[in-house]
Amino acid sequence: MIFRKPRRPRSLKWSLVLRIALLQGILITLLVPLLIIALIWFGVASMNDYEGGTADVIKEALTRDANGKLALKPTRELEELRRTEKGLWYVVRDKQGNIMREGTIPSALAPFANQLDNISEARFSWTMGKVDRPAGIVVWESDTGAGEVQILAGTEGRLSWGRLGFAAWEFFLVVILPVAGVMALATLFVTPWVVRGALRGLGAAANEAGRIDIDKRGVQLPLKGVPMEVTPLVNAVNEALVRLDTGYERHRRFLTDAAHELRTPVAILNTRVASLPPTPERARVLRDAARLSTLTDQLLDLQRLGRQVDRFTKVDLVEIARSVVVDMAPIAFSSGYEMAFEPAIETLPATGDRASIERAVTSLVQNAIEHGGNRGRITISVVRPATIEILDEGEGVPEDERKKIFQPFYRLRPHDHGAGLGLNLVQEIMQLHGGRIEVLDGSPGALFRISFPTRQREGAEARKGC
């Protein structure tokens, strides 16, 4: 069988951004040719009505001779204009008073040729109320080979294909390209910001989902700010959480009721077996009944545990560990073990529930008795900062099993007598106290260590919560 590495999930934000960018790219790709075609079509339609043809040709051909006087270069367009327009005329003057003329100025416009100092720009048309090609125009041109000049000319020339193409290219550079650049910048910088804002409500719902825990009932994902398209998914998750809460409560109630119902029959069984004559079979039945009683107590403890810390008080870990040693020593001795209690200090205060901590230490000692091989020593130590350690000299716990043994009903060996709830109960108790449990290599044997929060950590957490 070939196992393939799962693909990373795609980012919704960047998927939207890329799609918007692709759409804008397609629109720009379609729009640019359309605009250029429209510009060329408009230019072709207005070629015959273009009034600046003569002035454009004169402007392109303007230069100065060796004496600084105005002159015209023999350009191809100028020659074409002279060939097609027999009545070509124009007047060119600069700010220094140099004047260049060609052709015969129409009599109606001749008086204006001497008044160019008083004219900035003008269109001379004799048809009142109509916009048609004028008889002449006056323009100032600065982008010429002779510098800034004033041109009075006729309007016989046409718009050339070269100038039309140049105008289209200039329109692309001045108008279309900046617009496309602004759209690209908006896609790269503004669009992600807009999409991120639109998905902010979804991020809040995801953060709330990340805080869902098995010990928290009634959690619902917020709908505020969630996009309308994602609302059905959030509603479905909320409905699923309600069903899970209902199922969990039903399961918890069943275990509690079952454990309570088992206590009375187990107590009666212990009483009746204890009244039997002392035989090896009686001892085995008593031992099995004791395990059944322990299992019942563990089930009840699991149901009682919660994350309420209002019942926590100051406790002494040394005193708790000593009490467990006193209670469990006879059982350990009868099972073939030596037992040692090694507190590093006389008292070691902590905050927690005394009964729960005693149950955790007792479960770890019972686990050492069960798996220590009925030989060697079981050592209980209390060390700073707030730690209790239980060390046996058995076979230890394989490294690949050290996380699994804390799962409920998991047994390291299939034929073990326990139900697999003891270590899970210890883990629940340590989570309740904000501490942790870990199993290490005891060399030989297994070393179980439970660590409680120190006062400095508790103060830091309290300040963080505020």
Domain residue spans in the chain?
A: 12-45+165-198, 53-158, 214-304, 309-465
* pLDDT the model gives residue 387: 92
* pLDDT the model gives residue 157: 67
Determine which helix (DSSP H) or strand (DSSP E) holds 276, and give its type and residue range. Answer: none
* pLDDT the model gives residue 442: 74
Question: In whole angstroms, how far apart are CA 104 and each of 81, 93, 451?
Answer: 15, 16, 110
Question: What does the DSSP assignment read for 3-57?
Answer: PPPPPPPPPHHHHHHHHHHHHHHHHHHHHHHHHHHHHHHHHHHTTTT-S-HHHHH
User: What whole-number distance in Å separates Cα of residue 466 and Cα of residue 58?
Assistant: 82
Q: Split the chain (466 residues) into runs of 10 and give each run's mean pLDDT.
A: 53 68 74 68 58 84 90 88 85 89 87 85 74 81 89 76 63 73 72 69 74 70 75 84 81 72 77 80 74 71 57 87 89 86 89 86 87 86 90 82 75 58 81 86 85 61 41
- Rounding to the nearest 10 degrees, give the CA dihedral for residues 93, 95, 96, 98: 0
Tokens of 162: 């070269």
* pLDDT the model gives residue 44: 55
* pLDDT the model gives residue 322: 92
Question: In whole angstroms, how far apart are CA 90 and each of 4, 54, 96, 270?
Answer: 82, 8, 18, 129
- Within its chain, how far is the Cα of 127 from the centroid? 70
Model pTM score = 0.45
The structural architecture, per CATH, of the domain 309-465 is: 2-Layer Sandwich (3.30)
Tokens of 103: 């052709």
CATH 1.10.287.130 for domain 214-304: yes
* pLDDT the model gives residue 335: 82
Contacts of 299 (CB under 8 A, 6+ apart): 255, 256, 258, 259, 421
Q: Are the beta carbons of 13 and 196 closer than 8 angstroms? A: yes
φ, ψ for residue 397, nearest 5 deg = -115, 120
* pLDDT the model gives residue 458: 43
User: What whole-number distance in Å separates Cα of residue 430 and Cα of residue 189?
Assistant: 48
Of 133, 134, 114, the C-alpha closest to 125 is 134
* pLDDT the model gives residue 307: 46
* pLDDT the model gives residue 382: 92
* pLDDT the model gives residue 459: 43
